[in-house]
Structure 1
Amino acid sequence: MKNWPEVIVLRHGETVWNRDNRMQGALNSPLTETGRQQASRQGELLSQFDLSTDWVAFCSPQGRAFQTAGLSVALHIPFVRTDDRLREIGVGEWSGKFRSDLKVEGPSHDGPDGPIAMYEQAPGGEGFDALNLRCQSFLDDLKGPTVIVTHGITSRMLRINLLGLPRSELGKLPGGQGNLFHIKDGVQKEIV
């Protein structure tokens, strides 16, 4: 396991398509009222940390993550940089589709992000190998303590790396909208 800096990972708040159980991937839908409340709550949770010195913030450039960062992180860190490597996993032909209309092979455990296999099997999608490469690239570029605002599957891949876990644990990590994970020295704590 690499020795990466201390990190706080936020997933964006609920969006219209999350609520409707649709795949977003590279597409975007706005935060719902619940999503805006979740982002505001994340801002309150960040108050538990002294982010005034040394901390930087990065965000996916996708609207739902950027909107969440504005309601949460920008209250504590005045400059939030976007980084394309934090975008959500591409789901190819399944972008915009209702999850209930998709056929997934293998385990279909439906967690907060839907069956994890769905993201690997999406026709024309990015797949886990490519997602992992860009997540590792992002983490390797970190210079110090960092707040990250990203998406459900990308958050999981970042955290698998930060925790030194095998990819088989991807679907076992906690997820869901509006959450916050603090990872330091290979230990994860969910802040609620």
Structure 2
Amino acid sequence: MIYPELYILRHGQTVWNAEDRMQGWLNSPLTPKGQMDAARQGEILRCIDLEGFEFWSSPSGRAVQTAGIACGPLAEAVHTDIRLREIGVGDWAGRLRADLPQGTGDDPYLEQYEMAPNGEGLAAVETRCRAFLSEVVRPTVLITHGITSRVIRSIVIGPAALENSDIHGGQGCVYHLKGGVQKLLT
């Protein structure tokens, strides 16, 4: 499938990111660094002609707060869609990662999302992201989360989108996806 041009932002650093807690569908506010991350994303976007673009955000407070800082001066409206929220981590929401079982494979950090009791799982995130993307017909700016961004970028670009990708990355930068190519804007 061919997708319209996308710019993807991950929300800025939150209090729980700084504490290394699992957030999932719960929320934690942006830290001062997180507010600076969002401001930096806004600086990047101001250098781009976004005429005709739609703006969509996860409804989670941290994403909406990031959208307000980064996109508020640029967007006539920022719409929300629950399909852009972060992966659900079930019983592990709010818990410190260090207190949870660790994965043993190539990416133990990512494995924790699959191990979370009553969690959503990556396959379910992919299903809802594909449903959202099937409705995107115009160039779009997305404000979302780390795992959701990874899944969207993998759907649009393929596995190459995640090569050399830091799971913690994305705060303070913007991913540009166009014509099957991903560029990291910093």
Q: TM-score range by the shorter chain?
A: over 0.9
**Mapping of residues 68-107 of structure 1, within 5 Å:** 68-107=66-105
Higher deviation after alignment, 175-184 or 136-145: 175-184
Q: TM-score, normalised by structure 1?
A: 0.91
Task: Spell out, residue by residue over 1:76-118, the C-alpha distance to the aligned partner (whole angstroms, 9 max, x if none).
Answer: 11200000000000000110000001112322647xxxx1111
Task: Choose from 51, 61, 64 the match for 1:63.
Answer: 61
- The alignment partner of 1:10 has SS state of strand
Give how far 1:47 is off. Answer: 1.4
Unmatched tracts of structure 1, length 5 or more: none
Q: TM-score, normalised by structure 2?
A: 0.94
Tell me the distance in 1 between the aligned counterparts of 2:159 and 2:135.
20
Task: Spell out, residue by residue over 1:117-143, the C-alpha distance to the aligned partner (whole angstroms, 9 max, x if none).
Answer: 111111100001110000001111001
1:150 aligns with 2:149: no
Partner of 1:13: 12
Count of residues in correspondence between the two structures: 184
> Does the CA-based 8 Å contact 2:92-2:116 persist in structure 1?
yes
Partner of 1:54: 52
1:29 aligns with 2:28: yes
Unmatched tracts of structure 2, length 5 or more: none
Give how far 1:170 is off. Answer: 5.2
> Does the CA-based 8 Å contact 1:120-1:128 persist in structure 2?
yes
CA RMSD of aligned residues (A): 1.6
**Mapping of residues 94-173 of structure 1, within 5 Å:** 94-107=92-105, 109=107, 115-165=109-159, 172-173=164-165
Aligned residue identity for 1:85? R
> Does the CA-based 8 Å contact 1:43-1:72 persist in structure 2?
yes
> Does the CA-based 8 Å contact 1:24-1:96 persist in structure 2?
yes
- The alignment partner of 1:72 has SS state of helix
Aligned residue identity for 2:133? L
Tell me the distance in 2 between the aligned counterparts of 1:141 and 1:147.
14
Task: Spell out, residue by residue over 1:1-59, the C-alpha distance to the aligned partner (whole angstroms, 9 max, x if none).
Answer: x10000000000000000011000010000000000110111000012101x2100000
> Does the CA-based 8 Å contact 1:157-1:170 persist in structure 2?
no
Tell me the distance in 2 between the aligned counterparts of 1:180 and 1:93.
31
Task: Spell out, residue by residue over 1:148-177, the C-alpha distance to the aligned partner (whole angstroms, 9 max, x if none).
Answer: 0000000000000010228xx758534242
